[in-house]
Structure formats: structure tokens, C-alpha cells
Structure 1
Amino acid sequence: MSTRQVTLRDVAQVAGVSVATASKAINGKAEVHPDTRERVLEVARRLSFTPNALARAILEGHTGTVGLLTHDLVGRFSLPILMGAEDAFAGRTSVLLCDSRGDAIREQHHLSTLLARRVDGLIVVGSQTDARPSLGHEVPVPVVYVYAPSEDEADASVVPDNVTAGRLAVEHLIATGRRRIAHISGDVSYAAATDRARGADATLADHDLAPAGAVRYGSWSEAWGRTATPALLDEAEVDAIVCGSDQIARGVLDALRDRGVRVPEDIAVIGFDNWEPMTAGARPGLTTVDMNFQQMGRRAAERLAEAVRGEVTPGIEAVMPRVVVRGSTIA
């Protein structure tokens, strides 16, 4: 005896209706006549039909999956954003992660693969906060851009507020009594570096304070923090250092310890991102500005879900950061 599973097509054929009508009847859609619905349901019961969740979702136009395309090679931003998105979907939607490794051709390959899997929408995570090219409006599913906004204002984007992050860092240092505040940051070509510097400098000006020298731009690395710190100490008198990232801050802490400088008693240090691999082993504990990447992921998922329902809200939404205080600024 055949053990082939009964399909929706079998139900439709026996009931004398189309597959689409059978699907609507089984899923309780209002546009099906009550007599037709009852006939389809009776056939489904008689044939012991069990709807396949994926097949049912495809017939309804949704598969319960979304794609997450990232250019973030080490997961520094994409993993917390992914966690936030999954929290927002609360198990009702699966997220398929694809890393394009900063390669536009690889991104197009992943895009084609995800669309072939009939994802309901896409979340695109940039590797830096500079605006990125839009995937275009020919993409047949909604797209939300995270961390790096789309260049197209008609797209939906969720980004960190780096200017406010710079402000919060300096406001915290001033609140702890610091007045000679220097800034060691990352690559000057990155909007995150210049935006944070802009917020920091504006806050110093608001308090009638001058920065302890020009911003020192370099790389987003511990090595740059270790290299820049001795030169800074030789050229300026400082009591606090704003570091463009937690990686830089770890290097700064190493260099200060090598020079016998006490943190935070002599010089306070603050970083950005609240990246656990960097903050976990810092001595002392690293005060940092948390950019709320998980909240970005949640908002991206919420906006994507709204777009899938037809409620499209274009434009850029900024997520507010917060200061996480540890021992590098307050003893």
C-alpha cells in the first residue's frame, strides 16, 4: 500500500477546486464561499491531510524566513544585530545569515541565493557607518539597511547615532571632573570616526573647554592605541582619553600601564562599542559607549516585519547609544 503523503493538490482535485482555493479554504480566508470551504475541509479530513507549514506559507506568500546579508567579517556588529533581530521575531521567523566579506560580487551571489529560497525580506548590515549603495527597488522583497544606511532616502535604514555617542563620552568624562581630554580614533575615512569626533568636540566647546590637541586618527586596532599614546603623553598634558573604539582603548590601557600611569586616578579612558571580547579582559574594566547593536537589530526586524505587511516607512532611524561605566573612568 502506498504511504505517499497527501498533498494540498490531492485535496483540491478531490474537492473539485483549484489549489489556491483549497489553500484559502484550509487557512480560513474570507473570500471562499462557506459551502466550498466546508467541502474542502471535509475532503481534507477524509484524506487525513496535514498542511505542510512551508508549503502553506509559500501559498500565502510568506515563508517565515528572512535573509541577513553582512559585510562584517568578524561579527563585531552583525552578530549582536542578528541576536536583536531574532529576539524581535521571537521564533516566528528564521534568519539566514550570509557574509559577503566586503565583496560586491559575493553579495550579489548571496542575494540571488536568498531570493531563490523565497525569503520574506532582507536585512543588510554594513561594515562601517558610511552610506552604501542601495540594492535597488527591483528586489522583489522588502529590505532594511542596518549600521550602514542606504544611499537612497526612499529605503529604510537603522543606524547608530555616532555624534551623540561622542557627546556622551565627553559628558561622562567631564562629569567625573576631567578637563584635559584627548582623542585617539580610527581611520579618518570612516564616518564613525569623524562623527564621534564631531560630537566630542562640540561637547567640549559647550563647556568652554579646548581639546588636548587634535584628534589622532589611525587604525581601529590595539596596536594603534599603543603607538599613539606615548606620543600623546609627550606632547600634551591630559587627564582623559577618548578612544575611537574598544580595540584602540585596550592598546591605550596597555601603553599607560607601561608608562606607570594610573587609570583612572591619573588618566581616565573611555572606548566605544562595548564589544565583549575587548571589554572582558581589560584592566581596569573599560568604560565604553554601547552603540546598542541589538536594539538596531530589533528595530530592523520590526521595520522589516511592518514592510512585509505592506506598512513601509522609508528613511533613516537612529538608535541612541548609552554609556556603560566601569573602572577605567571611576575608581
Structure 2
Amino acid sequence: MIIQLDQKNKEQAKQILHIQLAAYQMEAEQIGYQDLPPLKEIVKDVMDANEIFIGFEKEGSLLGIASYEMHEDRVVLSRLAVHPHGVHQGIGTELMQAIIEHHLPIELTTAEANRPAIRLYEKLGFKQTARLQVENNLMLIKMERSMLRKVEVVEYETSWQEQFHHELDKLKKAVGDNWGDGHHIGSTSIKGMAAKPIIDILLEVKQISKLDECSHLFSELGYEPLGENGLKGRRFFRKGGLQRSHHIHAYEAGHEDVKRHLVFRDYLRAAPGRAKDYADKKRQLAKAHPEDMASYINGKNAIIKEIEQEAFNWSKQLETNNQARE
């Protein structure tokens, strides 16, 4: 059973240290390095630690401990220790799963020679990010577990239009005199269509370079500025972290991608059958890839290209018809 520990309590600090010394002594022997910092700690060091401590208890006995630091955007694992009497019982996994439930990226450092620990972390989704030479006979590796965005497609909500207009008012103030126009795009802009619940906003500004000067105002509204993010001439902002709520696609007025986005939206509004095809495809992909956003996005590429071509042809036909009326 996972329990919360209070390292400020001297008796609990002693229990924590007992587990720690036994576990890290076993690691020291395994990797051939006796100078591990956790082996040098005393009870006062544990009591002074500014970390969150949890433990694994079985039949009243503490068999494993973990401690970590909580940050706004990540968790940093400080220690993970299982008493030699508790190894091979899944205790380390349960302690790590309790930390994973915070739903934040997790960073840690461990000895490169500690293969059992590395296998555990890899099994839980951690990947190596760096190697650090501490001393001639000690190599550490940094590992990180990134949180995957869940793929969620929900039925149309009438509140999406209200959310768009509410956000647009705030964006007008942030952009100021550089403002051109703002449009609701993407699936949430199409009435009756299932979508990921993310409000996509297309901004037109007079000068795209001036938008960089007010990126701090977007940050104050909760947005993360990501520059062009792969598309030349665009400025992209996202809001909500892993629980994404808004995207902003900003272009200079007259950019060809402005028309592309608007024609795609307007065509689906005018062609409910194709909107249904697109929504059905998204539901299918979300069910098949509930935790794999990349596969979900890649799976939509073919139908998006089909609809974009249809939308282009539809738009050209509208222009021709309008010219004929004139």
C-alpha cells in the first residue's frame, strides 16, 4: 500500500534512512561505486529535505520509499529505494506509478551501470536524454518520461462559439493597433461536428513581425508562444498544456494560408455529408489511438487533403458563378 510519509517526523525520517541506506548500499555493490551521496546522509539530512516523500507499506512494515520535487510543469525524482527484503515484488513500480499519477513529465538521474533501475524506468516509459560523467568511474544518465496528450473527440458543443468570442475580445486588446481580423476555424467552428475540444483561432494582423513584440501579452493570457512552429510566415500559440484548450494561428493579412483555412471551414459548413465523413474518421482514429496524438494526426492526412482539394474546387466554382452574375 502506498502511504504518505512525513520526513519532518524524526521517527519516520529514521525509517526512511534505514530503507535508503540498505537499498543504496546494494546499488553501490552492484555498480562498483561506494561513494554514492545517499549513503552519506544522516537523519537530519532526511528531515531537512524539501521533498515530498511516499512509501510502500506491507503488513505494517515499510519496504520502499520515494521522494520527489513538484514543479509547475514537471516532477523531479530525488530518490527511489526498495529494501533488499522487498526486491522483485513490484514495489518500485508501484511507487513510480503513484508519482506518474500527477500527470506531469518526470525527470530523474541514475547510474548508467544500474541496469535493473534503468529497465524499470524504461518499462514505465522513460527515455534517456543525456549522459553525465561525474567521476572517472561513475557515469550517470538523465531520463525523462513525457506525458502524452490524450486523444479526445467529443460531440459538438454550442458553447464553443461563445468561447471563441470571449477569447477574441482578449486577443484584440493584446494585439492592439496591429489587429486585422479574427476567425473561428477548425472543427469546433462547424456546427454539429464532433471535434477535439480545442478552439482554433485564425488571426490576421497588419505586420506579423510586430506580433513578436507583444508575445509576453499572450503569455499573460496563458498562451505559449511557439514562433512559426514549422510554417513559414505563421505565429503559433497554444494554451492549456496537456489539457489543450486553444490554438492561435496568426498570419499577416493576405497570406495564402488565411484563405486556405477559411475555405476549408466554409466548405464543410456547406457540405454536411463531407463534414460527417470527416467527423466519423476522427472518431475512428481517436478510438484506435487514444494516447497517440501523432498517429491520430497522421491518420487524418489523407481525408484532409481530399477535402482541401474539394474545398478549393468549390471555392473556384463560387467565384466563377459570382462573376457570371455580375
Q: Same fold (TM over 0.5)?
A: no
TM-score by length of 1: 0.27
More strand by share: 2
Indicate the structure with greater helix content. 2
Which fold has the larger relative contact order, with Cα–Cα distance below 8 Å and residues 6 or more apart in sequence? 1
